[in-house]
Amino acid sequence: MLESNNWRNPDCDFASTSILLTGGTGFFGKALLRLLEASEIRMDGICSVVVLSRDPKLFLKHQPEFSGLPWLRFHTGDILDPASLPLRDHFTHLLHAATDSTLGPQMTPLARYQQIVDGTRNLLEFAVTVGASRLLLTSSGGVYGPQPPEIATLSEDWPGSPDLHNPANAYSLGKRAAEHLCALYQEAYGIEVVIARCFAFLGRDLPLNVHFAIGNFIRDALTRDAIEVAGDGSPLRTYLYQDDLADWLLTLMRRGRPGEAYNVGSDEVVSIAALAHLVRDLLAPDKPVRILGQQQDTQGRNRYIPDIRKAERELGLRVTIPLAQAIRRTGAAHRGQSLP
């Protein structure tokens, strides 16, 4: 059940809103579509959404619940191919979430950087062409670079940066470049751009067999003999549930201050070791947790904790689903599915 509704208020009327959503078939996009379908704004004519997808038929085959919705349409295209964008349509808002964080690590650093920067540039040009007034860019907390141990949380004005000379930072530096492109286009063309700096998340659509630690723990709890922690379990993280994520993004798209960045994440801090034990306690109480203790290259991310007070203070955003409840919901969604 989708319970968040921070973005629905008297000062946030969605009347005559037309949204182009990139990345609408991924983790972020599915959460956004579900929240929109669960809300009153789904009624005909109040809000329309077009999802850009390289293969809409394949997506709808696996997600048939999004077929035939009167407010939702799919357009075959690729953010890296400007000619494939829906140039004949008019949009008031663009929500750009098309970055492959799941399979991205399998790309070369150069290809990953180009995907982020060129895709953002193409969408900004598209915004100018179709006359869109607002754009939300989903960026990353990675733009801050390593979090120093003496800094409890990363605020939006933290001046840190990833190492410019390390190709492994292509994702984070690509996001920094994309943010700067947004600032340039806002100055040149008057597009109202808001930045969502996203941290870590979980939910029903989180893949359990890739590089996300919490997904791996849930997979282990549901299908394996033990829950394994590859490192020593000391890094600190926070996790925002998928429904809250969608609520926050829609709020930022509509009411975030132009030219501003907002951290998107939770303030409930947990170590990776404690997280593994929490997943065990909630989903598989009889299974052991094994801390393997191997050294890992965390690229300086022993701490990755956002300061979310700006979003709370300016937009009234809140974390409505605690971590334990989020883990239970995610585990319940994956039970019975075919897991690796």
| pLDDT for the residue numbered 12 | 44
What element of type H or E holds 263?
A: strand 261-264
Query: Whole-angstrom Cα distance, residue 124 to residue 141?
Result: 21
Under 8 Å between Cβ of 20 and 52: yes
Under 8 Å between Cβ of 115 and 43: no
Query: Whole-angstrom Cα distance, residue 66 to residue 79?
Result: 21
Under 8 Å between Cβ of 92 and 132: yes
Residue-wise pLDDT tens digits, 189-214: 999 999 999 999 999 999 999 889 99
Task: Kindly state the percentage of the chain with pLDDT values over 70.
Answer: 88
**Average pLDDT value over all residues in the chain:** 91
| pLDDT for the residue numbered 100 | 65
Nearest-CA neighbor of 245 among 119, 330, 303, 132? 330
Residue 165 bridge partners (DSSP)? none
Residue-wise pLDDT tens digits, 276-304: 999 999 999 999 999 998 655 555 579 99
Residue type (1 letter), 179: E
String of DSSP letters for 78-131: -TT-GGGS-TTS--SEEEE----TTTGGGS-HHHHHHHHHHHHHHHHHHHHHHT
CA 277 to chain centre: 25
Question: Quick one: tokens of 328?
Answer: 């239970």
| pLDDT for the residue numbered 39 | 80
Q: Is a pLDDT exceeding 70 seen at residue 3?
A: no
Residue 194 bridge partners (DSSP)? 136
Residue 240 bridge partners (DSSP)? 201
Under 8 Å between Cβ of 276 and 283: no
Residue type (1 letter), 188: A
Residue-wise pLDDT tens digits, 317-328: 999 999 999 999
| pLDDT for the residue numbered 319 | 98
Query: Whole-angstrom Cα distance, residue 52 to residue 66?
Result: 14
Query: Whole-angstrom Cα distance, residue 250 to residue 7?
Result: 6
Under 8 Å between Cβ of 135 and 182: yes
CA 103 to chain centre: 14
Q: Is a pLDDT exceeding 70 seen at residue 44?
A: no
**Mind listing the domains of the chain with CATH numbers?**
17-200+242-266+301-319 (3.40.50.720)
Identify the weakest region by mean pLDDT among 45-49, 192-196, 245-249: 45-49
Question: Quick one: tokens of 307?
Answer: 């300061």
Q: Is a pLDDT exceeding 70 seen at residue 81?
A: yes
Q: Is a pLDDT exceeding 50 seen at residue 1?
A: no
Q: Mutual orientation of helices 323-334 and 213-223 as an angle, nearest 10°?
A: 50
| pLDDT for the residue numbered 41 | 52
Residue 96 bridge partners (DSSP)? 22, 137
The pTM score is 0.92
| pLDDT for the residue numbered 65 | 95
Q: Mutual orientation of helices 242-255 and 27-38 as an angle, nearest 10°?
A: 80
Query: Whole-angstrom Cα distance, residue 310 to residue 317?
Result: 9
Segment 228-250 shows an average pLDDT of 96
- Tokens 């132009």 belong to which residue? 258
| pLDDT for the residue numbered 99 | 73
Residue-wise pLDDT tens digits, 86-128: 999 999 999 999 876 656 567 999 999 999 999 999 999 999 9
